[in-house]
Amino acid sequence: MRELTYLEAIREAMQQKMREDSSVYLIGEDIAEYGGAFGVTVGMLEEFGKERIINTPISEEAIIGVATGSAITGMRPIAEIMFSDFITIAMDQIANQAAKIRYMFGGKAKVPLVIRTAGGGGTGAAAQHSQSLEALVAHIPGLKVVMPSCPYDAKGLLISSINDDNPVIFIEHKLLYNNKKCIQNVPRQMYEVPLGKGDVKREGSDISVAATSYMVQKSLEAAEKLSQEKGIECEVIDIRTLRPLDIDIILDSIKKTGRLLCVEEAPIFGGFMGEVSAQVSEKGFDWLDAPVVRVAGRNCPVPYSLVLEQEMIPGVSRIEKGILNLLG
Amino acid sequence: MGNDLKAEKPYITIDGYRVEDKFSGLDDSIKIEMLRKMYQIRHFENETEQFIIRGMIHGTCHLYTGEEATAVGAIYAINDDDYITSTHRGHGHCIAKGADLNIMMAELLGKRTGYCKGKGGSMHIADVDSGNLGANGVVGGSIGIATGAALTCKMKRNGKIVVCFFGDGAANQGIFHGSINMASIWDLPIIYLCENNVYGMSTPVKEAFNIEKISDRKYAYGIEGLTIDGNNLVEVFNTVSHFNGECRVGRGPVLIESLTYRWRGHSKSDAQVYRTREETKQWVGKDPIERYKKILIDQKILIEKEDRDLEKEVISQIKEAAKFARESPFPEPSEVEDDVYA
């Protein structure tokens, strides 16, 4: 084993799948010579050539339309949408076409499509390049939604997503790509991290904290701090795949802790954690000692100024406060 | 001497393009088969209209009546295993591509025996295995999908091509531009076939375009393109045959505008206040079936009696399909969440 960054792990998953399966190809903006806006596909043009690393004009809707059409006719495209904000430009193709083709056709088609996209804020890129739009896509039956929080999961989840016969929205976080704090040992061989399985990233018995993507790392930081400073032991659950959702891993945890804090980066109103909260209330009410509480983004677009941006997006101290408040 | 013996291939000129008259070389049986397909579409739509009137269609249908020559001429000009994508007004394309009439009709009635097990309805009939990548409820929605299928053809070098049907309205969607641009830079084997039936719902083409010919958009993509008489089956067949050949040797894509007219309203709830009866009557006078039938009779490929028998045969086939659909079971409510995921 050797250590990889999140970005390297994602690249390796694609390289290995492309070596194994000639129907896997990449399509997106500036992914060839440039190597993608964040450098994820650097070097792939040299190995796989222009036929399989397909640079496109700036036409997100057509990128997803073309990827969808090729998926139903036997290819396994990985489409890159540079910023997750731009999935809205392709929304007809995602929501009305890719997601529904199988159902509308009575189960007689499959759409093995992966849409990789970079989400999240904290980069000073402001309102149109920082959003967390996972709730928007997780709401649509027919789509699967994946948000890895670390290199090991990123590789295994991407391999599972490419192997899956359904459209998968694979949302990467920009602040994880080259994050030296979360470099990990990643196996050289191919492996799958199954879709629909959450992961306990830290065990604890005082309170459960469920989080997505970069907020898993922030929650782990908060948990370590509280453990050292106050002897509070948080159980941190990485949701990993929003749809299908592994609600059981959360229910099992609250049986032990009796309390659940949900942490996400998106604005709190209508966010994905509302779904988690509702399901836990419906299925786990008897085990709860307190209401489910959410720590999430503020109800505004992601602002530019660092001061405002840090106010909008939850940080370690807000998570800490949330935990302490919930523990009373 | 040898040269003299070689039969000259007949060529004709369509909107400035010199194309081979492949139609004249077809077997009579195929020429008659195409008439049969047009009759099937016409009477399928007539039967559907009856279902609508009797309130048996849960939802809506968009009838293809009057546009039969475009679907049949285009689809008979390509290979059986080539791909098509269709539109919300898709019954004609599906029938021309060989869809089973019983299974289609069952889908319209929301029956479990339908193409989509009752989950799709009129606007989502598809038969992926036979190359029909589906009707589409979103105007322009299938243009990207068709382009992606053409990318598959190129990447897999499977020798297939795609015919992408869409209406005049779809030519003003963003996906039209993004997709045709991509197809043009990658030389994809795809025929974009714009069925200009004069109205996008109620909006006349002349109010939605600042150009005379939609096919003139070819200049924006550096591709070939032309406007044809979509009610003339022979012209549609010869044009698509020509560009079918071009696409197969890497000289795609192409944009064909097929001028036609929908005889019925946009959907079942259209009072048609935006057009005059005189206009509709004029177009009914250019009935693609009557025109094609006349060609076959003039060329002594068919006699009146055979034509009447053929139409009768089709009518009873459609009645059979309607019976099959009526007698088929509805899906079980418990099937509602099936087929969401593979």
- Reported ipTM exceeds the 0.90 cut: yes
Residues listed for chain A: 328
Residues of B in contact with A63 (CB under 8 A): 178
Which residues does B259 contact at the CB level (< 8 Å), separation at least 6? Answer: B196, B227, B228, B229, B230, B231
As for how many domains chain B has, the answer is 1
**Residue B151 pLDDT level (bands cut at 50, 70, 90):** very high
pLDDT at residue number B7? 63
At residue A328, the 3 state secondary structure works out as: coil
Nearest CB partner across the interface for A69, out of B145, B178, B341:
B145
A101 and A162 assigned to the same domain: yes
A152 and A13 assigned to the same domain: yes
- Per DSSP, A96 falls in state I
In a domain, A15, yes or no: yes
Nearest CB partner across the interface for A25, out of B136, B155, B185:
B155
In a domain, B37, yes or no: yes
Spatial separation of the C-alpha atoms in residues A88 and A61, rounded to whole Å = 9
Contact B144 A144 (CB under 8 A): no
Residues of A in contact with B174 (CB under 8 A): 61
Examine the fold and report which residue of A186, A208, A234 is the final residue of a domain before the chain moves on.
A186
Nearest CB partner across the interface for B128, out of A57, A75, A105:
A105
Measured CA distances, B323 to A259, A300, B40, B47, B328 (Å) = 60, 57, 16, 11, 8
pLDDT at residue B1 tops 50: no
As for how many domains chain A has, the answer is 2
Which domain range does residue B96 map to?
Answer: 14-325
Give the number of A-B residue pairs with CB atoms closer than 8 Å. Answer: 150
Examine the fold and report which residue of A186, A211, A246 is the final residue of a domain before the chain moves on.
A186
Reported as a single tens digit per residue, the pLDDT across B101-120 is: 999 999 999 999 999 999 99
In a domain, B101, yes or no: yes
In a domain, A231, yes or no: yes
pLDDT at residue number B2? 46
In a domain, B238, yes or no: yes
pLDDT at residue number A14? 98
Q: What percent of chain A has pLDDT over 90?
A: 99
A160 and A285 assigned to the same domain: no
Residues listed for chain B: 342
Read off the tokens for A62: 């057509």
In a domain, A68, yes or no: yes
Give the Cα-Cα-Cα angle A145, A148, A149 (nearest 5 degrees).
Answer: 140
In a domain, A242, yes or no: yes
A256 and A144 assigned to the same domain: no
Phi, psi at residue B191, to the nearest 5°? -105, 115
Reported as a single tens digit per residue, the pLDDT across B168-206 is: 999 999 999 999 999 999 999 999 999 999 999 999 999
Among chain B residues, CA nearest to A76: B152
SS3 string, B76-137, reads CCCCCCCEEECCCCCHHHHHHCCCCHHHHHHHHCCCCCCCCCCCCCHHHCCEHHHCECCCCC
In a domain, A191, yes or no: no
In a domain, B206, yes or no: yes
Read off the tokens for B182: 């991509």
pLDDT at residue B52 tops 70: yes
In a domain, B18, yes or no: yes
Residues of A in contact with B142 (CB under 8 A): 97
A181 and A311 assigned to the same domain: no
Contact B179 A64 (CB under 8 A): no
Spatial separation of the C-alpha atoms in residues B230 and B197, rounded to whole Å = 9
CATH number of the structural domain spanning residue B236: 3.40.50.970
* Rounded average pLDDT over A95-119: 97
Reported as a single tens digit per residue, the pLDDT across A228-279 is: 999 999 999 999 999 999 999 999 999 999 999 999 999 999 999 999 999 9
A176 and A255 assigned to the same domain: no
pLDDT at residue number B236? 98
B104, B132, B131: which is closest to B120 by C-alpha?
Answer: B104
Q: What percent of chain A has pLDDT over 70?
A: 100
CA A163 to chain centroid, in Å, comes to: 17
Selecting among A129, A201, A218, A294, the annotated active-site residue is A129
Query: SS3 breakdown of chain A: % helix, strand, coil, rounded to 5?
Result: 40, 20, 40
A122 and A217 assigned to the same domain: no
* Under 8 Å between Cβ of B103 and B182: no
A173 is catalytic: no
A163 and A16 assigned to the same domain: yes
* Rounded average pLDDT over A163-176: 98
In a domain, B178, yes or no: yes
CATH number of the structural domain spanning residue A64: 3.40.50.970
Calculate how close chain A gets to B260, using CA atoms only, in Å: 27
Examine the fold and report which residue of A162, A186, A210 is the final residue of a domain before the chain moves on.
A186
Residues of A in contact with B179 (CB under 8 A): 59, 62, 65-66
Number of Cβ within 10 Å of residue B91's Cβ equals: 27
Calculate how close chain B gets to A106, using CA atoms only, in Å: 4
A245, A257, A244, A228: which is closest to A236 by C-alpha?
Answer: A257
Which domain range does residue A109 map to?
Answer: 2-186
Spatial separation of the C-alpha atoms in residues A9 and A186, rounded to whole Å = 7
Spatial separation of the C-alpha atoms in residues B254 and B231, rounded to whole Å = 20
A23 and A143 assigned to the same domain: yes
Spatial separation of the C-alpha atoms in residues A117 and A115, rounded to whole Å = 6
Calculate how close chain A gets to B149, using CA atoms only, in Å: 5
**Residue B268 pLDDT level (bands cut at 50, 70, 90):** confident
Which ranges constitute the DSSP H helices of chain B?
2-5, 28-53, 68-75, 91-96, 101-108, 141-156, 174-185, 205-208, 218-221, 233-248, 277-284, 288-298, 304-327
In a domain, B173, yes or no: yes
* Rounded average pLDDT over B30-45: 98
